[in-house]
Structure formats: structure tokens, C-alpha cells
Amino acid sequence: MKRVALLGATGSIGRQAIEIVEAQPELELCAAASGSSPLDDVDAPFKQVGGDLTELLDQADPDVVLNAVVGFAGVHATLWTLEHGVDLALANKESLVAAGDLALDAQRRGGGRILPVDSEHSALFQCLEGREPEQVDSLVLTGSGGPFRGRTRDELTAVTPEEALAHPTWRMGPKITVDSATLANKGLELIEAHFLFAVPYERIEVVLQPTSIVHSLVRFRDGAALAHLGYPDMRAPISYALTYPERAATPLAPLDLTSLSLVFEEPDVETFPMLALAREAGEKGGTYPCVFNAANEVGVAAFLEGRLPFLAIAEIVADALERADGAPARDLADLVEADRAARAIPVA
């Protein structure tokens, strides 16, 4: 029996994870947590609404932690899991982006595995099969391009939260859905891929595949390119991470190949500057990725509350990166301070 601690149990990933756990006799929920929503309908011996997630994890003794919290709030749980040598099924990309080297140091000490839940990284993980970075020519992250693909900047000045929340292919929580519309999500994923697979930024490409059938691919040095295909359904990567190294059956439909036509295109980084800002933050290293993430969280929250125009999210992030010194975090206290300082950015 594998004991699963599910953090973010009431969210989009959390709900789908409960479905997977309930369908798999070898998985059991040992703990569930949310930020503020009640957990009355979740069946787990340890439950917690709000508060310090590491206290819950201390009590629950999990074999795997599925971190499906949204935002930097998940960072303590990510570090606890890695430090304790417990497997980390990681949906909360923001924690790995922000903590970066601190997380990898904790993993080296603890010895646990990071099993990516983000669909692109699950795809890359499966294509890589543990191969060393020197066998890799490049990683190709795919993205749908979000609801505003093909628009000009003029056409984006007045877009509303409702329009940004209408994602063409994935049904997700509000924060990641806005991130998909600005391409900040692909930027976070670029940094996430760098830390997960130890591949330098210049060998990680982003390409759009609007129907989200190709979940990512790896080009190897021998010329082979391995891709991962499937319908856009997070139950597949959640199940893979929770049952790894097995592949459990899921209710997903098999791909109907003759109904597909796969089109790829370049992302428009002029109209969607977040991708370029993330690449720059990742390449500079230190706490720049943490600052990118923090300022983005502030911008997205303000946009969703109707206090900020869509295009200003990227302006806030650019401004925060400019103001920050980016000094590497020696420990969690440094990281929390870098996150706090970046959030102090003025929002118009």
C-alpha cells in the first residue's frame, strides 16, 4: 500500500488525484490539505485546512507527497518532502522554480525522487527514462498558446479575466489558466524543466501545438526525437506519478490517430513577453526565478480582481526583476525574504 499525502486536495489537480487514488487499490490517502476550502467530503486520517503543511506531513508519514498547492505557498512542503527522502509528485511548479538549487540540495541530502505531474514534464520524464543530460540534444516543451494565441498587443489591452479564464484545451485552476494566457506558465515550465532534468536553458525550446496532443518531446544526440502523445487530461500524469514505476489503467480514451492533424508554431514572444522574461530570470539564476514567480503571482491576483490590465502583468514582472538583486538564497529564510521583497512591488 502506498500512502499518499495530497496537498491542495480541493483544487483542480487535487480533485482528479482523489479520483485516481480511489480507483487504485494500492493507493491510500494518508493526509489531505487545502488552503481555506473545507475538506468534509475528503476521506483521510489526517486533514488540515490552512496552517503549516509540514506539521501535517510530520504526522502523516507519507510514501509520496502530491503537492498540488498553487503558488509559492507550496514551497515548505516541497522542501520538507525532499529533505525527508519522500517521493515528491510535483504539480506545484512554483515551488521548484522559486527554490531551485535549494530544492535540489534538499533532494541530494534526502534521496527521494521528484515525479513530475505537470503534463509536459511528465512527458519529458517518460521520454528521457533517466538518461543523462549529455545524451540529450534538446528538450522541446509544447504549449497550447492559450486563449489569446494569434492576437496582437492591441487586441489584448482590454481583455477581461473571463476571457483569460476560457482556456481552449485544459480545465484548470484560475491562476495557472491566466498563466497560460500570458505564457508565464510556459516560462515557469522552462525553469522547472531546467531544474528537473539538468539541461541548460539554451537547449530547452518552446513550441506551440494548439490542440495539446503532443505533451512534449526530447531530441537525442543520435537524431531520434521521442514525443509523448495523449488527450489533454491531467489524470494521466497524476496516475503515472502516483503509481510510478508501474503504469496503472485509467479511464482515458485511446488516441484516435486518424482524427488528428498536428500543427506546430513558434510562440510570439513580442506579444507575450513573459516567456522571454522567464528565460532571462532562469539564465541569471540566484533568486531571479523566485522574483519572477512572486511578481507574477501578485500581477495575476490583481488582474483577476480587476485591478490590473492583462498586459500590465508582464510589466510588473519586468519591473520586479529590474529592482531585485537576485542574490542566491543560502537557506529557506533567504528565499522567503526574496519572495516577500518581490511582492512589495507597486501595483497600479
Residue 14 interaction partner, one of Mg ion, ligand NAD, none, beta carbon < 5-8 Å per kind: ligand NAD
Greatest Cα pair distance in the chain: 55
Q: How many CA atoms lie within 13 A of 175 on its CB side?
A: 21
**Residue whose C-alpha cell reads 502506498 in the numeric block:** 2
- List C-alpha distances in Å: 59 to 33, 55, 56, 342: 13, 7, 5, 33
Q: Which stretch binds ligand NAD (CB under 6 A): 7-15, 122-130, 142-150, 261-269?
A: 7-15
What the block records as the C-alpha cell of 39 is 475538506
Identify the CA nearest to 281 among candidates 31, 98, 87: 98
By a kind-dependent CB cut-off of 5 to 8 A, residue 9 interacts, out of ligand NAD, Mg ion, none, with ligand NAD
13 lies in the site for ligand NAD, by CB under 6 A: yes
**Smallest separation (angstroms) from ligand NAD to the CB of 152:** 27
Quick check: 191 and 203 in contact, CB under 8 A?
no
Of 92 and 119, which CB lies nearer to Mg ion in the complex structure? Answer: 119
Phi and psi for 56 in degrees, rounded to 5? -65, -45
Q: Are 307 and 299 contacting, i.e. CB atoms less than 8 angstroms apart? A: no
User: Of 64, 72, 100, 118, which one interacts with ligand NAD (CB under 6 A)?
Assistant: 118
33 is an interface residue for ligand NAD by CB under 6 A: yes
Q: Which of 159, 170, 226, 309 binds ligand NAD (CB under 6 A)?
A: 170
Contacting residues toward Mg ion, per CB under 5 A:
118-120
Cβ-based nearer residue to Mg ion, 39 or 207? 207
- Residue 70 binds which entry of Mg ion, ligand NAD, none, CB below 5-8 Å type-dependent: ligand NAD
Query: What is the smallest separation between the CB atom of 307 and Mg ion, expressed in angstroms?
Result: 27
Rounded Cα distance, 2 and 28, in Å = 6
Beta carbon of residue 154, minimum distance to Mg ion (angstroms, whole number): 28
* Window 234-273: contact mask with ligand NAD (x via CB under 6 A): x---------------------------------------
Q: Is 222 helix (H, G, I), strand (E, B) or coil?
A: coil
Conformational region of residue 340, where left means phi above 0, alpha means psi within -120 to 50, and beta covers everything else: alpha
Q: How far is the CB of 316 from ligand NAD (least distance, A)?
A: 19
Amino acid at 314: A
CB closer to Mg ion out of 32 and 124: 124
Q: How many other C-beta atoms are found inside a 10 Å radius of the C-beta of residue 314?
A: 22
Contact set with ligand NAD (CB under 6 A)? 7-14, 33-35, 37, 53, 68-70, 73, 91-94, 118, 170, 172-173, 175-176, 234
